Structure 1
Amino acid sequence: MKKIDPEIKMNKSYTILISLIVALGGFLLGFDSAVISGAVKGITVYFDMTDSMLGFAVGCVIFGAMAGNLLAGPMADRFGRKKILIIVAALFAISASWSAMATGYTEFIIARIIGGIGIGGAILIAPIYIAEIAPPKLRGSLVSFNQLNIVIGISVAYFSNYFLVNLEGESWRWMLGVEAIPAAIYFITLWTVPRSPRWLILKLNEVKLARKILLKIGGEEYAEITIAEIQRGQAKKEAKGKLSDLFKSKYATIMTIALGIAFFQQITGINAIFYYAPTIFEQAGGSTDSSFLQAIVVGLTNLVFTLVAIWLIDRLGRKPLLLIGTTFMTIALMMAAFAFNNATYDFNDANLDKIGNIEIQTALTELKGKTFEGQAALFEQVEPKLNDDQFLDFKRNQITNFIQINATLVLIAILLYVASFAISLGPVMWTLFSEVFPSKIKGIAISAVGFFNSLVSFSVTQVFPWELSNLGPTVTFAIYAILSLCAILFVYKFVIETKGKSLEEVEELLVRK
């Protein structure tokens, strides 16, 4: 079989432009994921939410993403990657507009779930499209554009929240509604991109149309070799992949890698950090303005180190990045747990005067002069003195008035964690997903694994407010550190390197004969 000569001159500008347009779905995904962090206080008050209601309001977008995961793969196989991405753009626009105008909790949840469906589609189909249109030597970097746009979206959301937070009235509506603008841009620009040449050949047998697209990407020789390679894979195709195929022994290695990486990418707490960044910094004693500013720093750190990952992924490889990143994630989470473990809670006159609720302030006056080591000891003394609503208010809003903590260490730990994730589990997972699944099962497999990834993410974001209130940040970060250590061991034992290999070569390497 003739391979693509690495010296073939590619039309990089054309391929990069297409990839950037498609990766705008990642921008919307990141923006939608992070923008809620600034709206948490506003929606909590407006809709009068309990901890569980807040957890669901934040995490329901992932609930919607599960539906998007299940639908996107099969629909993209049937109707094409481009058509599904256009639908995704429309869903983002509808969700942003509706959630900004919602007047009831149920209505707000429905609007958020619609956006989640868009997330589920964008996070799966954009990397598949880019992987199918990109030359092998550029594939890792171009697929990583999607992750780059995700983190740009996160950063822009934090900036947007920071500048909108002090608007008079219900600023959370502006925070959520502004997403409709990039969603409309995405919808319009998607009409200019071509359909996937690999999909055109495999599903429609449109070789001539696929050749025109491939000629624009790499010229005559590249087009002929790529078509021949796709047709060679097509010739040995079996019937269309089904969900039951994923349990066949020949795909055991692929599914172990995919499910393991999907699990560890979310169980180590990344979305808890992104969704609740200002809340975490307020837990460390920061003011509202400073916590929103620190969230911006988190977003920028994520952006910078995603650029580093894009530069390294086709040089250093997928597995080395995963090992480096998960190692430093573990260290960072241990640092955060250590910082909160050494925090104290000081009930002096100045701190008591900061309490906005006079009834709570009066009830806690008798604790004046006391200092508590850790949240457990604090809550044991505070809870009997307050009713249920007052105690909830104390845990959510007043506790930060009393904490004495090394806030700098917390900030460094969070930034190190985000940077480590950004060079490893963030971009590498989606690159691996776009590479390891054979064409026969790619649609159904990436939907199933994406659904599992979203399920884990939903669980983490749903539980996180409860963890902060009941277990405290020390135990919460310690749990994530243990899980991150398990991720290191998993990557070392199971993940294989796919750098520089064609999709067909990866299939031959991983599928058991």
Structure 2
Amino acid sequence: MNKSYTVLISLIVALGGFLLGFDSAVISGAVKGITAYFNMTDAMLGFSVGCVIFGAMAGNLLAGPMADKFGRKNVLIVVAALFAISASWSALATSYVEFIIARIIGGIGIGGAILIAPIYIAEIAPPKLRGSLVSFNQLNIVIGISVAYFSNYFLVNYGDESWRWMLGVEAIPAIVYFASLFTVPRSPRWLILKLNKVKLARKILQKIGGEEYAELTVAEIQRGLEKKEKKGKLSDLFKSKYATIMIIALGIAFFQQITGINAIFYYAPTIFEQAGGSTDSSFLQAIVVGLTNLVFTLVAIWLIDRLGRKPLLLLGTSFMTIALLMAALAFNNATYNFNGDALKRVGDPQIYKALQPMEGESFESQSRLFEAVNERLAEEQFLNFKRNEITNFININASLVLMAILLYVAAFAISLGPVMWTLISEIFPSKIKGIAISVVGFFNSLVSFSVTQVFPWELSNLGPTLTFALYALLSLLAFFFVSRYVIETKGKTLEEVEQSLIRT
């Protein structure tokens, strides 16, 4: 068996996961720059960040049929091109509409990469290596997120429009991915199932595992083709016998996103600046968030077949709730002091002039602060104050905020993050698995889009205390949902899982 060749192919294809993670997180560093450049409202900012998920939903719907028709490799090549176009165009955009279009193009790439890269790897990998090789994709997503935070940190002071460099640098790995994909073979299973090119498929399989492996695999694929079960339809998902499965799948997909993980990843520097950090320290803290996500994803991969799915979900949602309550408590206990030094740090001269009479005043809550400030500022000035200037006056336990965010990310990374897709791949019968996972993935992206769209408005209007308290409540509900509905699948065959969930 040519293990090194198979690993190399898988690593090349898994670069799609790296780009997915990078594209998802890199926007966090550009938030402040694009808000100012395109003069965005909260709604516009939320859409500019979240529209990539909007594109991903389209990618989810298009990628499967396109991969079946044109092949996994060809679709991945298109995905790489979309990432390169999106990165370059978003970096060069001069209008809000241009920027949105560029972001949506990248989102389509994300939707394709998240579905097709693991499918290709699963089809090319021998059974003994399949689990570890498919996990390359998830691991690369997390690495991509971490690298994006590092990149943002080093580029944050790179000129007045550093956000352009942050977004544009993604074109480099995208072009490398595009070129590398031409060196990988087409999926042997797709070649047989769609084109009946048995000879070419056998040649690829021989290079992967030798002649005996190639003959056995070709025979297995052909037997599967002969006995191919009729594919499930969308209407099948609504049959009463699948009700328990759909409750678990849609529930886990809902709670994975509604508890705020993408809000944290997309707006990490913004959150740390709200806690009074400087721009540089906020970006540095975002790097720590990315590394924490990486480390605990590795922990989850190690624990998932040892501890089990349900225990990890219960453990993770418990600590997510605690972490989010810690963040809410930190912001709730913050005070706001209008001393001379704080006023001098105000960047807008008009806001400075309007607030100067407040020198010496202090506030015990954000709501009272906003009431007082709102009386002195015009609407646009007040929005600018809430977004940018409030950090000059806050006195908060910033260490507690950092600890809370790191605990939250760690808890998510060992539970809802990786466990959701593992669980969903196990609970659906083969007849409906394809259509069901597409529907659940689409729903998951829809919830994610909603969260990222609303988060800037929540920070500006509800304030961080209520925002984090709301996410804590949703994490607690996730704990009770897992406790009540999710079954343990560790050590069970897929047939045993199917028997325990399907209503007769």
TM (normalized to structure 1)?
0.90
Report the Cα offset of residue 119 of structure 1: 0.7
Distance 1:465 1:377, change over 3 A: same
Q: Which moved more, 1:38-47 or 1:443-452?
A: 443-452
Classify 1:224/1:455 alpha carbon distance in 2 versus 1 (closer, same or farther; 3 Å).
same
Q: Percent identity?
A: 84
Deviation of the 1:162 alpha carbon: 1.1
Q: Secondary structure at the match of 2:407?
A: helix
1:385 partner SS = coil
Counterpart secondary structure, 1:345:
strand
Residues 359 and 60 of structure 1: CA distance in aligned 2, closer, same or farther (over 3 Å): same
The alignment partner of 2:316 has SS state of helix
Distance change >3 Å, CA 336–CA 59, structure 1 → 2: same
Partner residue, 1:5:
none
Picking from 347, 350, 353, the partner of 1:359 is: 350
Does 1:176 find its partner at 2:162?
no
**Structure 1 CA distance for aligned equivalents of residues 199 and 310 of structure 2:** 37
| Pair 424,129 (structure 1): closer, same or farther in 2 beyond 3 Å | farther
Map of 2:245 onto structure 1: 254
- Provide the C-alpha distance between the structure 1 equivalents of 2:480 and 2:187, rounded to a whole number of angstroms: 36
In structure 1, what is the equivalent of residue 420 of structure 2?
429
Which residue of the partner structure matches residue 304 of structure 1?
Answer: 295
The equivalent position to 2:309 in structure 1, one of 298, 314, 318, is 318
- Pick the aligned partner of 2:484 from 493, 503, 509: 493
Q: Offset at 1:318?
A: 3.0
**Alignment-mate amino acid for residue 289 of structure 2:** V
Corresponding residue pairs, total: 504
CA 267–135 in structure 1, closer or farther in 2 if over 3 Å, else same: farther
Matched, 1:24 2:25: no
Kindly tell me: are residues 232 and 372 of structure 1, through their superposed partners in 2, closer, same or farther at Cα, counting changes over 3 Å?
farther
TM-fit CA distance, 1:356 = 1.6
Residue 108 of structure 1, aligned match among 85, 99, 105: 99
For 2:151, the equivalent position in structure 1 comes to: 160
Aligned to 2:381: 390
State the 1:238 CA deviation.
4.0
Query: 1:329 — aligned with what?
Result: 320
> For residues 190 and 435 of structure 1, what CA distance do their matches in structure 2 show?
30
The 2-side partners of 1:256 and 1:435 are apart by 14
Asked if 2 retains the 8 angstrom alpha-carbon contact of 1:332 and 1:417, the reply is yes
Q: Which amino acid aligns with 2:179?
A: I
Q: CA 1:294/1:444 → structure 2, altered by over 3 Å: closer, same or farther?
A: same
Letter in 2 for 1:339: A
Query: Taking structure 2 as the reference length, what is the TM-score of the superposition?
Result: 0.92
What SS does the corresponding residue of 1:285 show, helix, strand or coil? coil
RMSD over aligned Cα, in angstroms? 2.6
CA distance in 2, matches of 1:49, 1:408: 30
1:474 aligns with 2:465: yes
Sort the Cα spacing of 1:127 and 1:316 in 2 relative to 1 into closer, same or farther, 3 A.
farther
Q: Which moved more, 1:228-237 or 1:339-348?
A: 228-237
2:458 is equivalent to residue 461 of structure 1: no
Alpha carbons of structure 1 residues 115 and 504: separation in structure 2 relative to 1, 3 Å:
farther
Q: Does 1:126 align with 2:120?
A: no
CA drift of 1:315 comes to: 3.4
Q: CA deviation at 1:72?
A: 1.5
Q: State the shift of 1:226 in Å.
A: 5.9
Q: Relative to structure 1, is the Cα distance of residues 73 and 506 closer, same or farther in structure 2, using a 3 angstrom cutoff? A: farther
Post-superposition shift, 1:246?
A: 2.3
Please tell me whether the aligned partners of residues 281 and 291 of structure 1 are also in contact (alpha carbons under 8 angstroms): yes
User: Residues 127 and 431 of structure 1 are in contact (CA less than 8 Å); yes or no, is this contact kept in structure 2?
Assistant: no
Deviations 1:66-88 (A, max 9, x none): 11111112222333322222211
Counterpart CA distance in 1 for 2:488 and 2:368 is 48
Match of 2:182, SS? helix
* Alignment match, 1:290: 281
| Distance in 2 of aligned mates of 1:230 and 1:438 | 19
CA displacement, residues 455-480 of structure 1 (integer Å, 9 cap, x when unaligned):
10110001000000111111111111
CA distance in 2, matches of 1:37, 1:146: 22
SS at match of 1:262: helix
Distance 1:221 1:318, change over 3 A: farther
The letter for the 2-side match of 1:268 is T
Gaps of 5+ in 2: none
Partner amino acid, structure 1, of 2:366: Q
Question: Structure 1 residues 469, 294: CA separation in 2 closer, same or farther (over 3 Å shift)?
Answer: same
Q: 2:47 aligns with which of 43, 53, 56?
A: 56
Match of 1:48, SS state, is coil
Aligned partners of 2:221, 2:309: CA distance in 1, in Å?
A: 24
**Residues 209 and 44 (structure 1), Cα distance of their counterparts in 2 relative to 1, 3 Å cut:** same
CA distance in 2, matches of 1:163, 1:148: 23
Range that drifts further, 439-448 or 166-175: 439-448
